[in-house]
Amino acid sequence: MQNRLASLGIEKEELQLLVEANSSIAALQDQLDRLIKNPMMSQLQDSNKQIQEFLGTFQQFIEACSRMKVTVQNEILRVKNPCPKFVPKSSRKSYSTVCQLRIQTLQCLLNTMEYLQEQAQVYRNLFEDLLKKDRLTFEEKCLQDVLLCRDQTYSFSVRDEDFNKLWRYRLTELLDKRNVYMKKMQTIWEKLWANMSYFTNELSAEVREHESFKEQLQAKVGLDQILGGELQRRSTMQLREENSNMCEELKCLQVQNDSELREERSRRCSMLQEEVQGAAFDTQQLLLKLQQAEDKVRLMNAEKQQLEKDQLQVHGRLSSHKEATQLLQTELQDSRAQVQDQDNTIQTLRNQLKEAQKNASPSAEELEHLRSKLLRADLELSSASEQHQKEIQKFKVLLNTKEESVRKLKELLRKSQQHGEESILQGEDLHARLTNPKGLNIRTSIAAEKAKLEEEVQQLQLKISELESQVSCQAAELSKWKSRAIKLKAKTKHELDKPGSPCTPTKRGLCSTTESSHLLSSPKRFLLPSREVLDSPSNVPLSSRKVLDSPKSSALDSPKSRFFDVGGTSDLLSRTFPKQFFDNSNLGLPQAVDKNDEWWPRSPKQEDMCKTQ
């Protein structure tokens, strides 16, 4: 595993180095392209043009050699013609021998021309190979400069100013080599053309000699001397040796350039190997880190197994909870279906009510009028009860003060009567009292004041009785309106119990009157937690259940109906409120009923919003 990881790391590093080398080469090519405007690069372009011209001269020489070969071949074909008739039979053998020697000479010229053509092609290929290898050597050196600069600066950016000096030196070396090559190409080209001109002259001389030979042959019969002279003049070994020496010299230059290119490549490979060794050291560090990470992974696996065991236990617990939740969800879905059916029924009834209101019958107008009148009566009764309560409190305070004053007067009268009885027993005192009318005036004033106080007490009692009669009348009127409202409520419930129109079919039948009243008047039943609904239906408070299940709570939806209840009227009227303001926060709410439980079923929009979320 570790060896595989190490090999993968080394391959990754090699790929990274190869990518970096390619990027460096691309950057170098860009640098070379940008340095075209440099005068050194202009010299390089000039040398390239000159070299191309020299290579073109070699191509011209090759084409000239091919033309000369055609001429020599034509001459050979002409020499191979049959022996002329003017040659005597005794000399025809010698003539045929001379023709064979001439053909050999022409064939030697043809071979020499082919050799020169091949040598010119070889020179051309050698020079092209040398120039290509010099170019590659120059690029390798530039790459080495890039690698050295990168190792020194630890940055992969290539700047012009970093390489101008180095590349100027490299370019001068390349230009010097090219100048040497051009000189050699000039020398070789001159020698080739000299040989070409020599063999051209030889061919023309051969043609002239052949013509003169024919003339002499025609003039003279003896051909032995002419043929011997012809054999002495033909020799081409020296030319072959010169050309072979030049070819060997060029091959030595090629071997030297090959060795230099191999050295440059070996240097670059050594530099890359050093970087690979550094990458191997980094790989070892990464392997150590990998081992540490594997240890951590083992610990985490052990923790994971423990957590999986705990998770299995938790899943076992959750499965039981899920079963209970599924039961609750099924029940909740049934409840939702019932609520949806009720909503559809309510919507249908509302639509029917709107249509009925459009065809406004007198009973509907009377119902609306009674509702508005009941609301106004509720408001008037609340304000009147407040005023009456305040007046009762005032009268009670005044009555208490009057009773206190009456009590004091009675006490004073009792004391005065006791004093009067004592005066009756004592005649002298009675005589003195009779003779003194001041005491009689005091008694008469006390009696008058007592009578006055009794009259005021009677008036106050009359006012209290009148107020109580007014309250009883208002309570009777309220009970009358309440009975009418109950009748209207029963009538609407009876309409709700009727089957719906065929346009709005429902999934199930409508609930009974008590169930619909509970659904409309107790949304808290749906808002309780599902576990409490399933397991402990007795968790709902007893008082709230009594209020919710009572026919009175389901009969009236208005919260003010509980304020005007007969049982709660005396209790509310007997309460004491502060004199500065009238607090109606607890108006019409029984003590055991929750406010949210009473107000939620009053508005169908709120009931729709309080469905299961």
Residues 87 and 95: beta-carbon distance below 8 Å: yes
Query: How far is it, in rounded angstroms, from Cα 392 to Cα 400?
Result: 12
User: What residues contact residue 60 under an 8 Å CB cut-off, 6+ apart?
Assistant: none
The tokens describing 319, both together, are 């499965």
pLDDT at 36: 45
For CA atoms 347, 351, 356, 360, the dihedral sign is positive
Tokens for 272, please give them. Answer: 């890359």
- Cα→Cα distances 113→57, 100, 118, 234, 407, Å: 16, 19, 8, 15, 170
Cα dist. 13→17, 28, 275, 411, 490 in Å? Answer: 6, 22, 9, 124, 91
pLDDT given for residue 556 in this prediction: 43
**Looking up tokens 């002329």, which residue turns up?**
84
Report the residue count for the chain: 613
Which helix (H) or strand (E) segment is 11 a member of?
helix 2-34
Give CA separation, 233 vs 21, 68, 304, 308, 582, in Å.
Answer: 64, 21, 105, 109, 155
Any residues with CB less than 8 A from the CB of 389 and at least 6 apart, and which?
A: 573, 577
List, for the chain, all residue ranges whose pLDDT scores fall below the cut of 70: 1-18, 21-22, 24-41, 81-95, 146, 150-166, 210, 213-243, 275-276, 278-280, 356-364, 419-445, 496-613
**How far from 480 is each of 315, 474, 568, CA to CA, in Å?**
63, 10, 16
* Structure tokens belonging to residue 94: 């010698």
CA atoms of 77 and 513, how far apart (whole Å): 135
Residue 206 to residues 93, 101, 125, 320: CA-CA distances in angstroms? 21, 12, 33, 121
Rounded distance between C-alpha atoms, residue 198 and residue 109, angstroms: 11
Residues sharing a CB contact under 8 Å with residue 266, sequence separation 6 or more, in sequence order: none
Q: Give the torsion sign (CA, 486, 487, 492, 498).
A: positive
Contact criterion met (CB below 8 Å) for 119 and 192: yes
In the chain, domain spans: 2-279, 324-353+511-567+578-613, 365-498
Instruction: List, for residues 557-604, the tens digit of each pLDDT value.
Output: 444 444 444 444 444 444 444 444 445 555 544 444 444 444 444 444
Residues 6+ apart with CB under 8 A from 276: 10, 13, 14, 17
Q: Is the dihedral of CA 149, 154, 156, 157 positive or negative?
A: negative
- Provide the 10 A C-beta neighbour count for residue 608: 11
> What's the Cα-to-Cα distance from 277 to each of 5, 13, 280, rounded to whole Å?
16, 10, 5
- C-alpha–C-alpha distance, residues 115 and 426, integer Å: 195
**Is 55 in contact with 127 (CB distance < 8 Å)?**
yes
Rg (CA), the chain: 69
Amino acid symbol at 602? R
237-358 vs 2-34: helix crossing angle, rounded to 10: 110
Closest to 213 (Cα-Cα) out of 102, 110, 70, 80: 102
Whole-angstrom Cα distance, residue 12 to residue 19? 10
Q: What is the dihedral of CA 210, 215, 216, 219, to 10 degrees?
A: 160
DSSP type of residue 82: P
The predicted model scores a pTM of: 0.33
Residue 557 CB contacts under 8 Å (≥ 6 apart), including other chains: 489, 520, 521, 601, 602
Q: What is the pLDDT of residue 544?
A: 40
Print burial letters for 43-58: b (CB count within 10 Å at least 16), e (below 16): bbeebeebbeebbebb
The predicted-structure confidence for 219-255, as pLDDT tens digits, reads as follows 554 444 455 555 555 555 555 666 677 778 778 877 8
